[in-house]
Every structure is written in C-alpha cells, then in structure tokens.
Chain A
Amino acid sequence: MRIQKKMEDTPDETMPFGLLDLIPNGIVIIQPDYSISFWNACMAEWTGISAEEAKGTNLIERYPALTKPSVFDRISQLFEGGPAVLFSSSFHPHLVPCSFPNGGLRVEKISFIPLHHNNRMYALVLIEDVSDLTNQVKAYRDMKNVADNQLNDLKKARDAIYLANKKLNLLSSLTRHDINNQLTILIGYIELIRDTEGLDPTVRDYLDLEYQAAETIMNQIQFTRFYQDIGIKTAMWQDVTETIRAAVKPLALKGIDLTIDLPPLEVYADPLLQRVFYNLVENSIRHGERLSNVRFSSVEDDNGLSIIYEDDGVGVPYEVKEKIFRREFFKHTGFGLFLSSEILSITHISIRESGVPGTGARFEMLVPMGTWRMEEKST
C-alpha cells in the first residue's frame, strides 16, 4: 500500500465544499477508493495536516484503525449503496486521531455519510469532538455513583434503625404487659385491704393515695402504647374528610351534631392522623360539659392551610391554652393533645388552641405549603 502518496485520480474541483471550512467539526470528503477530495480547515487544525497535503492521499492508509475489518467492512457497504455509517465514541474514541493544541487526543464521534455529486459517489466523513461531553457525562456518572452509594448507605442505616426500633417496641410491649399484670395484682390487693372491716381511717387514706398512684401508672403505661407508634410508619397522603369519619366512628356522639365542612382535601401526615381527630372530638366530649355541636372546616392563606376544629362546649381557659399540649397536662387531657401535637409535628403541622373561653374550644392545625393538596373538581 502507498502511504500518504498523492492519488493520480484528481478530486472534482467543481465541488462547492468551501463553506465546509466554516464548520467547527472535522469534515473530510473521500471517493470510493478512499482518496481524499476535501479536507476542511478544522481537520487541518486538529491534525496539523494541511488541506493541500491531505488531498489526493488515501484516508485508510493514513489512519490504519480504519482498516480493521469491523470498521472497513461497514464503510465499504456505504460505497455499495448502503446507508450512513456511525462510529460512536464509546467504541471508537480515536478512529481518526485528532489532537488538542496542548497534546492529548480528542474523543470523537464519526459519521460516514453517502454523498452524490455530478453522478459521482463520495462519502462525507464528519468528525465531531465530543471530549467535553464525554468528560461531563463521566463526571455525572461518578457523581451519580457517589450519590447511589450514599443512598445505599442511608437505606442500610434506615433499615438498621427500623429493626432496632422494632425490637425496642417489642421489648417495650412485653415490659408494659408485665407491668400491667403486676399493677392489676397491686390494685387488687389494695382493694382487698381497703375492704377490710375496722381499717384505720388514716391507713385507708394512704391506700386511696396508693390506689390513685397505681391508676396513674396504668394511664402512663397506656400512653406509651400510643406514643411508641408515632413516626414508625411512613407519612402518607390522607383524605381529611374520610380520616375524620373513621376517627369519630367509635365515639358516642349521642346528641352531638358533627359537621364536616371541608373541600376535597388531602394532607401529608403520619398514619396516626386519625388518632389526632379522635383525640380532639373525644376531648370535647370529655370536657365540653354542655356540648351539642362539633365542626371541622378549613381556611387557606399565605402561610398554608388551616384545618379548624371547633366545639360549642365550655372552652379552654386562657391560662391553660398552651399547657394542654404539654405531657405533664395528662391528668386533664389523658395525654391526647400532647400526643396529637407530636403526631402532627412529624410532617411539620402545628396545632394551637384559639377559642374564646365560655363559647367553645377552637383548634387550628396549620398545614404548611406542599403538605396539602386539593382534588381538582371535574367539570
């Protein structure tokens, strides 16, 4: 084979290829014998070979990688009337080696495209520099791999926490069961002693105090049963009206009117949301005294959406409006409002009491933007 020797078959000088010198990609036009008819300015810059030097020489003799059967056979099909042939950078990064000014090879994507001019067949060889794209994609892949690994680690940590929590809950459940058994025995004996005839009144008073203390312990133990479930299950979107209906079902609402005046609303909350609504209504029944109406409604403003719960009971005195959400206030609220506040706070929903004492209780649950949505009404 003649290496880089001028071909005798002169290129078709009438071909209007001058414009291709303006293209910022390497462009070479070859004849069916692979002799070079055109070599654009970009190729001259990338290879350091001038157009005059390149024209008439043989492309595959100049670049031996093109003679590999898996490459050459495909290119030759083009000259037999076949479609364009593509060589991706993944498989052939340097088929026609082109350098950067400071050394190093450009990563290339090459297309051989059939070209017909004046009843003669040519192939336009388009060489695209995809070095930047390649580097960017590789950097992206590296970043993604790091993120994947971190996500994997987080998943493992989450699974480990979930498992530990499950075990703690099991332990807590067994302990609670054992304590309840012992408390039942203790209360039983206290009752037996209290029923003893001729018991010293002072001792009886002490026994009453012991009985109360045992009952308080039982309530506290009962509270841990609910509290341990908070945050265990993933928060989810819940239809508020349906959740309220399910919450009040077990409650005796005899003589009390329930109004749910809500749009088709969903909130993103802990699965124990139902317990919150239960606690609010149960609290009204327990403490409302002259209760006849309870109502759920909503108000939307710039801060988000507030779900309002109101009753027409005696209301909450000003001095305890904040205290009712504290754990220590359990004697009055049976832990319900503390528990409710904790459940809601998992998805950043806040709760406050804003009613006027004497006219009824009013609880506002502020649901932040992004954690509520309304079902679109079909027209």
Chain B
Amino acid sequence: MIEIDDQAIDAIREIVNIGVGRAAGQLQEMTGSHIRLQIPSIRIVPFDDITTVGNTIISGDTLSAVLLNFKGTFSGISAVMFPPESATALVMLLTGDIEKSPELDALRIEALKEVGNIIINAVMGSIANVLSEHLVYSIPTYYEGPMINLARLKRKTSHDECVLLARTNFLVEKLNIEGDILLILEIGSLDALVASIERVSA
C-alpha cells in the first residue's frame, strides 16, 4: 500500500473542498435548496476496493452517475453519483415534471447528464484553475448500474492498482436528494498533484 503523508492528504482535501464547494453552489442555485456538504474523505485504495470504502451509494445495487475522464499532469476520473431515486427526484424537480411513478427515461437521463456536467465542470474547473494546470477531458458519459461494474469498466491496468479516492457526500436539504462527488486519481499522478499544490501554496 502506498503511503502518503497527512500534510499532502490535507492539501488534497482542501483543493477538492474548493471544487466541490463551487459545485455545491451551482447545485444550490439550480435547486433553490440549501446543500449540506460533508468534508471530503481522502483514501488510497486498490482500484477494485473502491466499492467497499464508500457509503451506501457506492456499495448499493445500482447508481446513476455522470463521469468525466481527465488527463494531464494528473489523470483520473471525476464523477457525480446518485442513488436512482435521488437522480429521478432531482431531474423531476428541475424539469418541473409531475408523475406518479417517474422513471429515468432518455430525456431525463440527458437532463441528469447536464446537471452532472455542471457539477463536475465546477469541480474540475476550480481545481485546474487553482493549480493553473491544463487538463484534457473526455466527453461526459452517463452510467447506470452497480459501482463494481463501473470500476471494472474503467480499470486500465491491474486489479490491485492503487488509486486516490476523494469522496464528498452532499444532501439537498428539504428534498432529501443525496449524492456523491467522486474524484478517482491514478496513483502515478499523485506526486504531480502534490507538487502542484505545493507550488501554488508557496
């Protein structure tokens, strides 16, 4: 297991916190409801274990997620994930649809992709800006299913490859809509990220 000192963890937590804080602001503006944000948890775990270190959203049977791959000085995946009921409730709220038994159909998935796009762009834009780093991004994609399958889909090298997992849980108060903002960073990028943070801090 790769070790990382507390100072670096704190620095990464702070940078992630700035990003998710901005994303929460965007979400608050969209929903008109206060967003309760948890402090980001930062862990270094084998890729295959990322489903076991999170909360019920990550370990649940299924989740609705918007994903964005990024490459550059540091590389990884940024994602916003919802339990399907929360995803549906959020889209229904934002589109003003009223239905007795709503489901995430093609149009609502597109709407959720836009919401996820706004949140992730706020996170990544903020991090890249603060660190003055140029990153190359993929087109955002939507995923629905268990996290374990997603982890397998995105696995690039070996099963036991370690990644840095930054997870922030948020709750749209009054509406009981919850979600996770995830940042999965390839471990090879860690030194570059820490160096970048130190450079900015200095």
Interface set of A (CB-CB < 8 Å, partner B): 74, 77, 80-91, 109, 111, 113-114, 130, 133-134, 137, 140-141, 144-145, 148, 152
Contacts and interface: CB of A to CB of B under 8 A. Distances in A.
Interface in B67-101: 68, 70, 91, 94-95, 99-101
A130 B114 CA distance: 15
B8 interface: no
24 contacts: A74-B118, A81-B128, A81-B134, A82-B124, A83-B68, A83-B117, A83-B125, A83-B140, A84-B139, A86-B114, A88-B111, A89-B107, A90-B91, A90-B94, A90-B95, A90-B107, A91-B111, A91-B114, A130-B107, A134-B107, A137-B106, A140-B105, A141-B105, A152-B100
B4 to A, nearest CB: 26
Contact of A91 (B94, B106, B137): B94
B111 A90 contact: yes
B167 interface: no
B108 interface: yes
Interface of B: 68, 70, 91, 94-95, 99-101, 105-108, 110-111, 113-114, 117-118, 120-121, 124-125, 128-129, 134-135, 137-140
Contacts of B138: 83
Given A86-B140, A137-B107, A74 B135 contact: no
Contacts of A89: 107, 110
Main secondary structure of the interface of B (DSSP, over half): helix
Contacts, number: 77
A88 B113 contact: yes
A91 B99 contact: no
A83 B107 contact: no
Given A91-B95, A141-B99, A148-B100, A83 B111 contact: no
A141 B121 CA distance: 31
A114 B136 CA distance: 9
Contacts of A88: 107, 110-111, 113-114
A144 B104 CA distance: 13
B95 A83 contact: no
Given A88-B110, A90-B111, A109-B110, 9 more contacts: A83-B70, A83-B125, A83-B140, A86-B140, A89-B110, A133-B106, A133-B107, A141-B105, A144-B101
Contacts of B70: 83
Nearest to B137: A83
A83 B94 CA distance: 23
Contact of A83 (B99, B105, B110, B120): B120
